[in-house]
Structure 1
Amino acid sequence: MTEEKKEEFRKLLNERMEALLEEANKTVSGMTDQRENYPDPTDRASMESERNFTLRIRDRERKLIGKIKEALERLDTNTFGICESCGEDISEERLKARPVTTLCIECKKKQENEERLRGV
């Protein structure tokens, strides 16, 4: 992979991480600013349900931030874009769609088929 392409992916990964961190900060400040009291149990349950949903999304985003950091480390160690299963190059199209990926499309399909067979 050329240095120009690496920098392109580094920029993309950093932009995604900044956007995720910004959303996380909004969520935290929004939850600490909410001092609403819902006397109606239905309203309170609805608010709690929305809050739990938001927290689940933020947890997924937290995991994605970890994957982004790992992808940035792979860029630094020149292993970005190399399938960790077969050692072949991961296509640029796949990396653009999912820059945190560690598997080429063939190895990912194989992994998904194995998971499906095991019922995971």
Structure 2
Amino acid sequence: MTVELDAEYRPSEDETFMNERQREYFRNKLLRWKEELLKESRETLTNLQEESQNHPDIADRASSETDRSIELRARDRQRKLIAKIDAALERIADGSYGYCVETGEPISIKRLEARPIATLSLEAQEAHERREKVYRDD
């Protein structure tokens, strides 16, 4: 069952958390984001194929290889992001989207607006980052 949303709809904290309208809103937001990333990825592949020409100058070749490496790293990050978007879409489908995986508490609408792939509430994320910092300093 698909819920119709008007273009001005924005989820609010005043609504029942993760009602059908909110789930549809975030599903659409995630799908648009994923499509944008896939479009950029296709453009990058096209650009890399077009630029795979042989550069006679060694400096030009080195610069081209550096640019290519940076592009490929960016695409790898986007590939991982797409996997996170797919996981968020699965959580919407199974009804667990919007709830912290550690505490089970709702993740704030503001946080989901800013980072729709979030799996942790702000408090759980901060605690996670503090733990990470402690272990990283060793």
Pairwise TM-score range, normalised by the shorter structure: over 0.9
The answer to whether the aligner puts 1:105 opposite 2:122 as a matched pair is: yes
The answer to whether the aligner puts 1:68 opposite 2:82 as a matched pair is: no
1:65 partner letter? I
> What's the C-alpha RMSD, in Å, of the aligned pairs?
1.0
CA–CA distance in 2 between the matches of 1:3 and 1:35? 48
CA–CA distance in 2 between the matches of 1:7 and 1:48? 42
Residue 42 of structure 2: aligned partner: 25
Residue 68 of structure 2: aligned partner: 51
Residue 86 of structure 1: aligned partner: 103
1:109 partner letter? E
1:56 partner letter? R
Larger displacement relative to structure 2 (98-107 or 27-36): 27-36
SS in 2 for 1:16: helix
Larger displacement relative to structure 2 (27-36 or 68-77): 27-36
Candidates 9, 17, 30, aligned match of 1:13: 30
2:98 partner letter? G
TM-score norm. by structure 2 comes to 0.84
Deviation (angstroms), 1:35: 4.1
Deviation (angstroms), 1:34: 2.4
Deviation (angstroms), 1:91: 0.1
CA–CA distance in 2 between the matches of 1:34 and 1:96? 37
Structure 1 residue ranges, 4+ long, deviating more than 6 angstroms after superposition? none
Q: Give CA deviations for 1:53-100 in whole Å, capped at 9, x if unaligned.
A: 000000000000000000000000000000000110000000000000
Deviation (angstroms), 1:12: 0.3
CA–CA distance in 1 between the matches of 2:120 and 2:88? 12
Gaps of 5+ in 2: 1-17
SS in 1 for 2:64: helix
TM-score norm. by structure 1 comes to 0.97
